[in-house]
A and B are shown apart, each in its own frame.
Chain A
């Protein structure tokens, strides 16, 4: 026999052996005993494979249909107010008299050793708070004179005084805050939430993004991207001036019936395609066409704040017809009232370096505070009186904090007073949606440089938001590239200290 024949013979024998094995009782008993044993061992080792009860179902034909969370959550929707650029906690909420005493002195070496800053070089001077502080409400929360309205409702809020992050540049820090990773490609918080819960109102997007301040956040549209989740879950950016969504009107000469007929025709073609390929994304596409058709009517309606009564405009300080954070805040309330799941607001212009008057703590920063103070206060009170605050979680914060030192870009004196990016301590607050009223968690050291106790990181905030919506963040996963992914990756702790 040639080598080839021997080889073929071996192959044949092996195949025959395999077939015969399937017929023998011995093989069956051996394999079942071993197989079951291995399964039992796997469970003994306590491998926490996601139980089916915790899996999120995904129906490609109805991707946004409302779904049931792991447990009955207190919140049903979220309004996330992101102050892009990172507001200074030391001028708003983190009262540090000791820092005031050090104002103008050289920064102690111990604070600088082994540290890197975005712009500070050499030895900067310390900078005391550029605003007066006072305690407010029954919770005796410290709020500065920069937020005269918000300070009247501190008893509705819970502060997180020792938030930290590990990114000191805007884009990665914003990604970190919203997607749980400083790099591109992960789904945003709003995408996870709409993936897990769907949305109540099928005529509106489940995840709406509104921007103000003249610029998009530095991280671009990825902060509301859907990453590896189906693209139907990405945030829909709406504009508060002009058409809320670009190209939402039918072109001139096309009436509504013709539009419907053309969408129907496209859907028939897509159905045929689906029959051939069975690709669920095609069903997704069909449903998106239908949703878009319905939204042509409902979105312009809900996005129009002109019809709101005067006392509401008075309360929020809104002026219809121009792009402003206040208008967006009022819109957020309207959207939540109509059953939108997640409303994400970005307000640009909080990057107070002191390089220009807009970024000066005693000029531009004051103006930014005035733009947000009244309308955010109105939002909380308006949600409250409408019975929506219980089920709407409001989150406020930036992507990082600001240094207790005066910025000295390139080691030089700056034209205005400003602070550099700071990762080791900043303040955020949450309200409504089952968050404790008048709570506070975490403290910074006596000059507000770093967290002294109650330190939390973006993962903890994400875990808390998911928890309030009814999700166990450790079991809220999406299978991608061969493993289940979660928003909080391997981290995250629900901050039970601020849950009411």
Chain B
């Protein structure tokens, strides 16, 4: 009975503490301002405020002591908080006496400053007890460091199967959902969940984990109770674990609550697989093999770009903030040597060139030869033949070549065996036969020569229309 009454008064501590903080700080502020001629009149309420602050500080100390008896808190911070609080009360008494011109108190100087510092420290310690030791710094954790150990964000795992089930999956859940009351700062119900020994030891009501028997374990039972049940954990007003988090903890206990096993060594029920997979990092977005040279290049001369545009030739950067260019002759099918000369001022930047379906011919290929950074070249359905292809020998960066519908032969293609970067050659409707290109393929083992000529055979069923059988 006695205990419950003390607990009852103890529970007033969180309200009472705010009174001395507020009252004493305003008293200090007014006292400080009153020191100036202009605000002299502010002094009048100071002694009264100090009296109120003093009384409330004493009340806060008493209620705080009663609360600490419930013993849910770790002793270290509590004792500091207690002695600091008592100091606040004592200093405020002395300060009040000084204001009342009691002689003894006159000797001590800097009292207001001391009191101010004490209030700050006591308040902060109290905050740590209630909200966890990293409560204040948490919002800044992301700003100040990328790899904050106290961070409560559950980070995705690179490979969930390689993860240690406790360290990488269960512990972060406990850390975010349980540590604030059952961690280093507080041990409500004498339960600590931040190290393996304490977890298995349990709290004042006994063990919380029964290995291999997840549904018999107090921890799981409590989490699964309806949220308005008084025994539900975490308490209603605290952040709740998600369903999948509960399932993960339950699975870990069911698998024996082992602290070092890896996920891959534990049996994984079908229903849990998606949950486990969800913990895994989504692979970084891959920039697929879009071919753009990596070396930096200066911007192309604007005048040259304008001239091409006047001719109706499309010239564009390949991407925003890239100086590399693509040129497309899609609506400019009669290509003159002058047009091709317009490309030369851009020879460093030009990396993709589309000249399909134009009247490009062998004699005009000499201009293309002078484009050293060309990676993609489309000259399909043009009059280009072996002679023109031979000109490409100096385009060392060429990776993609589309010569569909040209007169190029296997022999012509073999001119390109020095182009070490060449990967894709589209040679449909040409005279190229892949089996005749052995020399080229042995020089460039990674090359793919696509000669196409795919057929989609017409099946007998393709043209038959199914009808309803006339009688059933």
Interface residues of A (CB under 8 A from B): 53-54, 66-74, 148-149, 200-203, 314-317, 337-339, 357, 360, 362-364, 366-367, 370, 373-374, 377-378, 381-382, 384-387, 390, 416, 434, 452-453, 467, 470, 494, 496-497, 499-500
The distance in angstroms between the C-alpha atoms of A470 and B287, with both chains bound, is 10
Of all A-B residue pairs in the complex, the 3 with the closest CB atoms, nearest first, are A385-B452, A387-B426, A381-B454
Please state if B456 and A381 are interface contacts (CB–CB under 8 Å): yes
Please state if A314 and B459 are interface contacts (CB–CB under 8 Å): no
List B contacts of A374 (CB < 8 A). Answer: 456, 458, 462
List B contacts of A366 (CB < 8 A). Answer: 466
Binds A, one of B125-133, B316-324, B364-372: B316-324
The distance in angstroms between the C-alpha atoms of A74 and B352, with both chains bound, is 13
Please state if A453 and B454 are interface contacts (CB–CB under 8 Å): no
List A contacts of B284 (CB < 8 A). Answer: 496
Determine which of A202, A316, A452 lies in contact with B331 in the assembled complex, contact meaning CB atoms within 8 Å: A202
Which chain A residue has the least Cβ–Cβ distance from B322?
A: A72
Q: A70-B319, A366-B466 are in contact. Are A201 and B331 (CB under 8 A)?
A: yes
Q: Taking A382-B454, A385-B452 as given, write out 15 further A-B residue pairs in contact, using a Cβ cutoff of 8 Å, ordered by the A residue number.
A: A68-B320, A200-B328, A338-B357, A362-B466, A366-B466, A377-B456, A386-B426, A387-B378, A387-B400, A387-B404, A387-B428, A434-B288, A452-B274, A453-B273, A467-B285
Indicate whether B147 reaches chain A with its CB closer than 8 angstroms. no
Indicate whether B468 reaches chain A with its CB closer than 8 angstroms. yes
In the complex, how many angstroms separate the beta carbon of B463 from the nearest chain A beta carbon? 8
List B contacts of A54 (CB < 8 A). Answer: 320
Indicate whether B308 reaches chain A with its CB closer than 8 angstroms. no
25 residue pairs A–B, Cβ–Cβ below 8 Å = A53-B320, A68-B317, A69-B319, A71-B287, A74-B290, A203-B331, A315-B455, A363-B466, A367-B466, A370-B462, A370-B465, A378-B456, A381-B456, A384-B450, A384-B452, A385-B452, A386-B428, A387-B380, A387-B400, A390-B424, A434-B289, A467-B285, A496-B283, A497-B283, A500-B288
Determine which of A201, A357, A385 lies in contact with B428 in the assembled complex, contact meaning CB atoms within 8 Å: A385
The distance in angstroms between the C-alpha atoms of A360 and B466, with both chains bound, is 11
Which chain B residue has the least Cβ–Cβ distance from A381?
A: B454
Which chain A residue has the least Cβ–Cβ distance from B452?
A: A385
Please state if B331 and A73 are interface contacts (CB–CB under 8 Å): no
In the complex, how many angstroms separate the beta carbon of B337 from the nearest chain A beta carbon? 24
Indicate whether B282 reaches chain A with its CB closer than 8 angstroms. yes
In the complex, how many angstroms separate the beta carbon of A164 from the nearest chain B beta carbon? 14
List A contacts of B287 (CB < 8 A). Answer: 71-72
Taken residue by residue from 376 to 405, chain B's Cβ proximity to chain A (1 for < 8 Å, 0 otherwise) reads as: 001010000000000000000000101010
Indicate whether B300 reaches chain A with its CB closer than 8 angstroms. no
Please state if A71 and B288 are interface contacts (CB–CB under 8 Å): no
The distance in angstroms between the C-alpha atoms of A65 and B357, with both chains bound, is 20
In the complex, how many angstroms separate the beta carbon of B423 from the nearest chain A beta carbon? 11
The distance in angstroms between the C-alpha atoms of A500 and B426, with both chains bound, is 20
The distance in angstroms between the C-alpha atoms of A357 and B312, with both chains bound, is 54
Secondary structure of the B side of the interface?
loop
Interface residues of B (CB under 8 A from A): 273-274, 277, 282-290, 292, 312, 314, 316-322, 328, 330-331, 356-357, 378, 380, 400, 402, 404, 424, 426, 428, 450-456, 458-459, 461-468
Which chain B residue has the least Cβ–Cβ distance from A294?
A: B331
Please state if B426 and A496 are interface contacts (CB–CB under 8 Å): no
Please state if B467 and A363 are interface contacts (CB–CB under 8 Å): yes
Q: A385-B428, A386-B380, A387-B404 are in contact. Are A496 and B285 (CB under 8 A)?
A: yes
List A contacts of B400 (CB < 8 A). Answer: 387, 390
In the complex, how many angstroms separate the beta carbon of B209 from the nearest chain A beta carbon? 29
Which chain A residue has the least Cβ–Cβ distance from B278?
A: A453
List A contacts of B289 (CB < 8 A). Answer: 74, 434
List B contacts of A494 (CB < 8 A). Answer: 285
List B contacts of A390 (CB < 8 A). Answer: 400, 424
In the complex, how many angstroms separate the beta carbon of A52 from the nearest chain B beta carbon? 10
Determine which of A148, A416, A452 lies in contact with B461 in the assembled complex, contact meaning CB atoms within 8 Å: A148
Please state if A453 and B274 are interface contacts (CB–CB under 8 Å): yes
In the complex, how many angstroms separate the beta carbon of A124 from the nearest chain B beta carbon? 22
Which chain B residue has the least Cβ–Cβ distance from A435?
A: B288
List A contacts of B424 (CB < 8 A). Answer: 387, 390
Which chain A residue has the least Cβ–Cβ distance from B461?
A: A370
List A contacts of B463 (CB < 8 A). Answer: 370
Please state if B404 and A68 are interface contacts (CB–CB under 8 Å): no
Scoring A71, A317, A416, A500 by chain B CB atoms within 10 A of each residue's CB, the highest score goes to A71
Please state if B319 and A72 are interface contacts (CB–CB under 8 Å): yes
Please state if B292 and A317 are interface contacts (CB–CB under 8 Å): no
Please state if B467 and A317 are interface contacts (CB–CB under 8 Å): no
List A contacts of B466 (CB < 8 A). Answer: 362-364, 366-367
Please state if A71 and B452 are interface contacts (CB–CB under 8 Å): no
In the complex, how many angstroms separate the beta carbon of B454 from the nearest chain A beta carbon? 4
Please state if B459 and A148 are interface contacts (CB–CB under 8 Å): yes
Please state if A385 and B450 are interface contacts (CB–CB under 8 Å): yes
Determine which of A66, A73, A385 lies in contact with B328 in the assembled complex, contact meaning CB atoms within 8 Å: A66
The distance in angstroms between the C-alpha atoms of A187 and B134, with both chains bound, is 48
Determine which of B288, B328, B452, B464 lies in contact with A339 in the assembled complex, contact meaning CB atoms within 8 Å: B328
Please state if B320 and A66 are interface contacts (CB–CB under 8 Å): no
Which chain A residue has the least Cβ–Cβ distance from B288?
A: A434
List A contacts of B322 (CB < 8 A). Answer: 72
Please state if A200 and B314 are interface contacts (CB–CB under 8 Å): yes
Determine which of A386, A434, A496 lies in contact with B404 in the assembled complex, contact meaning CB atoms within 8 Å: A386
In the complex, how many angstroms separate the beta carbon of B471 from the nearest chain A beta carbon? 14
The distance in angstroms between the C-alpha atoms of A202 and B314, with both chains bound, is 10
The distance in angstroms between the C-alpha atoms of A152 and B257, with both chains bound, is 49
In the complex, how many angstroms separate the beta carbon of A436 from the nearest chain B beta carbon? 9
Please state if A69 and B320 are interface contacts (CB–CB under 8 Å): yes
Please state if B461 and A200 are interface contacts (CB–CB under 8 Å): no
In the complex, how many angstroms separate the beta carbon of A217 from the nearest chain B beta carbon? 23
The distance in angstroms between the C-alpha atoms of A202 and B283, with both chains bound, is 39
The distance in angstroms between the C-alpha atoms of A360 and B450, with both chains bound, is 41
The distance in angstroms between the C-alpha atoms of A9 and B328, with both chains bound, is 69
Which chain A residue has the least Cβ–Cβ distance from B378?
A: A387
In the complex, how many angstroms separate the beta carbon of A395 from the nearest chain B beta carbon? 16
In the complex, how many angstroms separate the beta carbon of B138 from the nearest chain A beta carbon? 16
List A contacts of B451 (CB < 8 A). Answer: 385
Q: A203-B331, A374-B458, A453-B274 are in contact. Are A386 and B318 (CB under 8 A)?
A: no
Please state if A317 and B462 are interface contacts (CB–CB under 8 Å): yes
List A contacts of B286 (CB < 8 A). Answer: 496, 499-500
The distance in angstroms between the C-alpha atoms of A496 and B451, with both chains bound, is 30
Which chain A residue has the least Cβ–Cβ distance from B457?
A: A149
Determine which of A73, A315, A386 lies in contact with B456 in the assembled complex, contact meaning CB atoms within 8 Å: A315
List B contacts of A452 (CB < 8 A). Answer: 274
Please state if B319 and A470 are interface contacts (CB–CB under 8 Å): yes
The distance in angstroms between the C-alpha atoms of A71 and B322, with both chains bound, is 9
Which chain B residue has the least Cβ–Cβ distance from A53?
A: B320
Q: A496-B282, A499-B285 are in contact. Are A71 and B320 (CB under 8 A)?
A: yes
The distance in angstroms between the C-alpha atoms of A453 and B276, with both chains bound, is 11
The distance in angstroms between the C-alpha atoms of A470 and B450, with both chains bound, is 26
List A contacts of B273 (CB < 8 A). Answer: 453
List B contacts of A499 (CB < 8 A). Answer: 285-286, 288
Please state if A385 and B453 are interface contacts (CB–CB under 8 Å): yes
List B contacts of A377 (CB < 8 A). Answer: 456
List B contacts of A416 (CB < 8 A). Answer: 468
